[in-house]
């Protein structure tokens, strides 16, 4: 059986911190199967899962040999899928979108390789189990959001919260069942979305049929791998006994060269290694089918056109007669001894030309988009300057109004002063006349 330790190290798990001196504190103790080495070249085994494979049977540098090397096809399939997507998807806008899942598959294979080689808890969580959640969440977003439109931000935040929440919970409570249930839930959600897209698609039935073939065969490989994984867990003691009895008759792992039957049985009875191989094939096929399904349903314009039916064959010429004049028209030219028909460009050459034309159109569209963006920026700058000038004109108009008001008040004051001066002038004239009369009276009296 699969050995998973669910006994907490210490007291109540809720009271033990998961951050301790900058390191994540594991809530579960390390697990070791009976009779197996608990340390190796990379240090002590601290993983909370011990898979049903004898440790260090081939080399001191790899704890679980078959579980480690079985990740090589996983990595190779991911890299090949990424290369194929970059080569075959003509649109630069969608190329990396559908290449990312294949790169994620390769990263999961690398992390699993390191974990099974070291049986280290940090490698188990951070390189093997959590990347599975991250990559599956990325695929979940890709199938629920065909394009990165303005409405996809909420979906991005919602889906991104799934791996972040699982990571926080797993670092706090190191139960492997948390990872397993979350991964199963995400995969079921992806499968539910696949069924909806296939039923609702009305584009290119032939392409939909191809996408269904890849998705369903990949899902079958997943189910088969899951069954083998559970059989390996349930009958671990039996498989261990069989392998031990054939391994040169010695109990436990040995570095001695096994016999041919022992080597064959030791390889084919590694259930978790078969899980790696079958899930690698299943992931690669499902990622390819998902990419083709999303391109068919959401971006049919960038797919290669469906092949046209072959034109009808020309009618065969009439049977030649003995007359030279009648047979001459069916004879090859004398100046061209090699008679052949110009078949024109092949189907692959036509597809290549179409891809080149689409790439050129994408380039022109990118340039047009940049030009429109620059014009928009210039328009915004002009708008800002117009707002500044409008503000200045409004301030000047206000100053003119204030100056007019001050001039009006000054004119009223001048009018008042003029009226006062006029009244004062009349009084002075009367006073002068009175003064003159007084002088005349004094003169005549004397």
Known binding positions for Ca(2+):
50-51, 53, 55, 64
Residues 6+ apart with CB under 8 A from 151: none
* DSSP letter (8 states) at residue 309: P
Q: What are phi and psi of 23, to 5 degrees?
A: -115, 150
Q: What are phi and psi of 20, to 5 degrees?
A: -145, 110
Structure tokens at 205: 């039935």
Residues 6+ apart with CB under 8 A from 143: 190, 193, 194, 197, 290, 294
Residues 6+ apart with CB under 8 A from 42: 61, 63, 117, 118, 120
**Distance between CA 324 and CA 308 in Å, rounded?**
41
**Distance between CA 90 and CA 121 in Å, rounded?**
42
Query: Is the CB of residue 89 less than 8 Å from the CB of residue 97?
Result: no
* DSSP letter (8 states) at residue 38: S
**Distance between CA 441 and CA 56 in Å, rounded?**
153
Give the residue ranges of the annotated binding site.
Answer: 50-51, 53, 55, 64, 116, 272, 276
Give the residue ranges of the annotated binding site for Zn(2+).
Answer: 116, 272, 276
**Distance between CA 292 and CA 215 in Å, rounded?**
10
**Distance between CA 80 and CA 98 in Å, rounded?**
13
**Distance between CA 204 and CA 309 in Å, rounded?**
15
Structure tokens at 307: 């092949």
Q: How many helices (H) and strands (E) does the chain have?
A: 13, 6
Residue by residue, DSSP assigns 195-259 as: HHHHHH--S-HHHHHHHHHHHHHHHHHHHHHHHHHHHHHHTHHHHHHHHHHHSTT-SS---SPPP
Q: First and final CA of the chain: distance in angstroms? A: 159
**Distance between CA 242 and CA 258 in Å, rounded?**
13
């Amino acid at each position: 059986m699969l050995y998973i330790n669910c006994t907490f190290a210490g007291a109540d798990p809720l009271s033990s911190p998961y951050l301790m001196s900058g390191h994540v504190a594991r809530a579960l103790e390390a697990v070791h199967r009976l009779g197996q080495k608990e340390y190796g070249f990379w240090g002590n085994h601290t993983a909370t899962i011990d898979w049903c494979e004898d440790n260090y049977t081939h080399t001191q540098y790899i704890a679980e040999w078959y579980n480690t090397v079985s990740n090589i096809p996983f990595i190779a399939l991911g890299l090949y899928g990424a290369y194929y997507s970059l080569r075959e998807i003509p649109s630069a806008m969608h190329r990396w979108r559908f290449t990312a899942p294949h790169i994620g598959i390769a990263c999961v294979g690398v992390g699993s390789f390191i974990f099974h080689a070291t049986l280290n808890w940090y490698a188990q969580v951070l390189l093997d189990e959590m990347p599975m959640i991250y990559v599956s969440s990325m695929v979940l977003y890709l199938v629920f959001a065909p394009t990165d439109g303005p409405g996809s931000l909420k979906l991005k935040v919602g889906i991104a919260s799934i791996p972040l929440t699982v990571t926080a919970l797993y670092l706090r409570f190191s139960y492997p069942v948390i990872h397993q249930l979350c991964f199963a839930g995400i995969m079921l959600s992806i499968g539910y979305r696949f069924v909806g897209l296939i039923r609702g698609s009305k584009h290119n039935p032939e392409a939909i049929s191809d996408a269904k073939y890849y998705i369903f065969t990949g899902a079958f490989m997943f189910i088969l791998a899951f069954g083998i994984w559970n059989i390996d867990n349930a009958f671990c003691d039996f498989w261990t006994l069989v392998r031990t009895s054939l391994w040169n008759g010695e109990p436990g792992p040995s570095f001695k060269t096994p016999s041919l039957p022992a080597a064959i049985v030791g390889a084919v009875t590694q259930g978790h290694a078969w899980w790696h191989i079958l899930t690698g094939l299943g992931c690669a096929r499902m990622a390819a089918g998902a990419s083709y399904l999303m391109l068919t349903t959401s971006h049919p314009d960038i797919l290669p056109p469906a092949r046209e039916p072959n034109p009808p064959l020309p009618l065969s010429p009439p049977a030649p007669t003995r007359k030279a004049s009648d047979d001459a028209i069916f004879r090859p030219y004398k100046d061209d001894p090699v008679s052949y028909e110009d078949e024109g460009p092949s189907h692959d050459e036509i597809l290549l030309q179409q891809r080149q034309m689409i790439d050129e159109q994408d380039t022109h569209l990118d340039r047009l988009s940049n030009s429109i963006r620059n014009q928009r920026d210039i328009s915004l700058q002009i708008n800002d300057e117009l707002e500044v000038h409008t503000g200045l004109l409004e301030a000047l108009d206000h100053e003119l109004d204030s100056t007019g008001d001050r001039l009006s008040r000054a004119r009223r004051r001048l009018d008042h002063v003029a009226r006062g001066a006029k009244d004062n002038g009349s009084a002075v004239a009367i006073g002068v006349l009175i003064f003159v009369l007084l002088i005349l009276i004094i003169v005549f009296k004397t």
